Amino acid sequence: MSLFGHRVTALEQGRRLDALLGVCEGIDSRSQAVRLIEGGLVRVNDITTTAKRRVVLEGDELSYVVEAEAPRALTGEDIPLDIRYEDKDLIVLSKQAGLVCHPAQGHESGTLVNALIAHCGYANLALLQGDDRPGIVHRLDKDTSGLMLVAKSDTAGYLLADEIRVKAIDRRYLTLVHGTIASDTGLVDAPIARGEVDRLRMVVSKAPNARASVTAFTVLERFDAGRFDEGYTLLECKLYTGRTHQIRVHMAYTGHPCVGDPLYGMTRRPKAQLGLTRQFLHSWFLNFAHPIIGEELEFFDPLPADLYDAFESIAGESLGVTEAGKRILPLAAQMKREAAHRLSADGS
């Protein structure tokens, strides 16, 4: 590893941190700069920051640690894609659990990016997130399933990023959490930063580098406590920001971690996890205006089989469906049909 420093000049004032860092000594690309920032390896005026969009000022002192990186050759791989919509500018797909979005340390291949290159070709994917993240507009955790946006043209990519920034894209998730939540609705407004001790964990923090994070939730159904658990609550969560692990961190912060979450929720008894080895979190609803043609697009994605089975296993413990649940849970029949279809297909 090597330590580098840079003092921001008058001409550089007003630039984004990742853009400036990408042309600094020891750094080969903007995408490498983003990885350093997100990894907590960049300090501004001796304070660690993970805000890649931070605007730098004249006189700011940047310091950063760079570890030599081997060149990463991106290739297409024959990985199935569940595409729900596609045109020349974008793709809407449902990402399966277990699929990493883009290459990173420990996951150099077998990612969504590799699948997209095979499907579209590298030259036909937007590069707004860096040359090693073609097509990526926003991400889902490896073991979070559901709807995602992919940009094929640079114009569409930048416009979609702007829609996300101004909260014009409606992204909603279904999650089953431990415990029963009394209020039918709630808002968690708690800044998130990377953990100082365990860098894999994100934490609610008051540190200067913590980033504003807001999650709204609506209760759909509650379930009574059993011998091995403290009850459950099925929620629909809406993101107003898009931080790493945001819903998982916010729900754990409220004392109601996602069922099956191996990082934030496994302090509960094993049987309380309902047989899940990944978090019960699914991106099930997406609504946005097409960035080029302006048409409103809306997508629903039923629960995958493993999450539906966990949900169905506690149906006999239901304490009742809320008014919001009455609007949303009629899709449960569709979820069941979809799950049965997938299980049948897997067995054929």
Catalytic residue set: 141
CB 216, CB 186: distance < 8 Å: yes
| Residue 10 token pair | 């008058």
Residue 36 Ramachandran class (φ > 0 left, ψ -120 to 50 alpha, else beta): alpha
Handedness of CA 228, 268, 176, 135 (dihedral sign): negative
The residues, ordered by sequence, that sit 6+ positions from 25 with a Cβ below 8 Å of its Cβ are: 4, 6
- What angle do helix axes 305-313 and 332-347 make, rounded to 10 degrees? 120
CA neighbor of 64 nearest in space, from 49, 80, 76, 74: 49
In DSSP terms, which residues pair with 185 in a beta bridge?
218
Question: 306 vs 198, 248, 269, 342, CA distance in Å?
Answer: 29, 18, 19, 10
The residues, ordered by sequence, that sit 6+ positions from 346 with a Cβ below 8 Å of its Cβ are: none
CB 175, CB 205: distance < 8 Å: no
